[in-house]
């Protein structure tokens, strides 16, 4: 295993410290306990947004802290949920009196720990709402979840709910927008290779040189099936068809198409996948109104990608277009 690290046990601490130094104009990093807040938090009168999860998925979630997205991110150990002891102070740090929305990917540890933190915050008199993201169509249950996993759609929920909070929506309205995005978004991924968790030192699963895993999770969880390697168009079709079927996309619909890299795939290959997905959607009479291509929710150095499709309406499109200024996503400023 070759990695640019010092001590496998210090990877998250040193990475978060470096992130804070690199983006000191945007964020503040708390080390004990570990969480990241936007520089101007709490923003007076604004609903706070907090998300988090295991590290190893960068830029999710810390890279999305800033104007127009998250107010705080809580990083756990690699592929391990943050603890309530981290989530609670992050929640309180961004509460301006308007309440806080937790955006939680549907993994058992994340759900339980954010739920505990919300209950404890509410016991202290704070208002908390939770948006649960479960956009993965690959499997209903996995090693980490009861029900569908939260994957690429998380980025879109954070951006659009963040824009709603930034324009001044109240607590219930921001949560409702997040839930609406989740109901209208679906994702599916593929792995061409496994990733290696630093403290484990070995790949998280085995794939033969000519094999790929269709429907992989962002922690290396098994997908729908393992098949021989195919060309990019065939793989794209395998990912896109279940998404469109599950979402009920039809001719005349408008969508956001998001092709996400898992950490080890060149941008050029992601655009090849995007090209095919856009062709398929056009052939079905579906208009791609907005797009996003790049590494936004990764699995360390895993080779592969995911495709996410969000059904748009005028309000969701406007919220997507609203200004955002974070380390990983920025426009309109």
d(CA 152, CA 149): 10
Q: Which of 134, 158, 152, 153 is nearest to 144 (CA)?
A: 134
User: CA-based angle 282:252:289, to the nearest 5?
Assistant: 65
d(CA 238, CA 218): 18
Number of residues that this document lists for the chain: 333
Structure tokens at 66: 């800033």
Angle of helix 232-247 versus helix 267-283 axis, rounded to 10: 50
d(CA 52, CA 294): 20
DSSP 136-149: B-S-S--SS-SSPP
149 HSE (CA, 13 A, CB side): 23
What is the Rg, in whole angstroms, of the alpha carbon atoms belonging to the chain?
A: 19
Q: Active-site residues: which are they?
A: 57, 219
| Alpha-helix residue ranges (DSSP H) falling in the chain | 11-22, 84-93, 108-123, 153-166, 171-183, 232-247, 267-283, 314-321
């Amino acid at each position: 295993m070759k990695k640019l690290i010092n001590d496998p046990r210090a990877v998250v601490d040193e990475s978060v410290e470096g992130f804070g130094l690199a983006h000191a104009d945007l964020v503040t990093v708390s080390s004990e306990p570990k969480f990241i807040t936007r520089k101007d938090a709490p923003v007076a009168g604004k609903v706070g947004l907090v998300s988090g999860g295991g590290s190893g998925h960068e830029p999710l979630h810390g890279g999305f802290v800033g104007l127009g997205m998250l107010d705080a991110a809580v990083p756990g150990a690699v592929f391990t949920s943050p603890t309530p002891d981290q989530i609670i102070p992050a929640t309180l740090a961004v509460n301006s009196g308007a309440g806080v929305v937790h955006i939680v990917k549907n993994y058992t540890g994340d759900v339980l720990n954010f739920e505990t933190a919300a209950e404890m915050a509410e016991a202290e008199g704070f208002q908390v709402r939770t948006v649960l993201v479960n956009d993965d169509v690959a499997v209903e249950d996995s090693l980490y979840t009861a029900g569908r996993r939260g994957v690429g759609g998380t980025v879109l929920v954070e951006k659009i709910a963040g824009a709603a909070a930034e324009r001044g929506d109240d607590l219930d309205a921001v949560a409702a927008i997040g839930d609406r995005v989740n109901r209208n978004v679906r994702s599916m991924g593929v792995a061409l290779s496994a990733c290696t968790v630093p403290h484990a030192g070995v790949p998280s699963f085995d794939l033969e040189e000519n094999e790929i895993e269709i429907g992989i999770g962002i922690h290396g969880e098994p997908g729908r099936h393992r098949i021989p390697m195919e060309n990019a168009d065939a793989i794209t079709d395998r990912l896109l068809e279940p998404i469109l079927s599950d979402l009920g996309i039809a001719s005349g619909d408008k969508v956001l198409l998001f092709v996400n890299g898992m950490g080890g795939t060149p941008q050029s290959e992601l655009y090849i996948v995007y090209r095919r997905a856009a062709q398929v959607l056009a052939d079905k009479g579906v208009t791609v109104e907005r797009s996003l291509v790049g590494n936004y929710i990764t699995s360390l150095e895993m080779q592969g990608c995911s495709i996410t499709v969000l059904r748009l309406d005028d309000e969701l499109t406007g919220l997507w277009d609203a200004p955002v200024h974070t380390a990983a996503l920025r426009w309109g400023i």
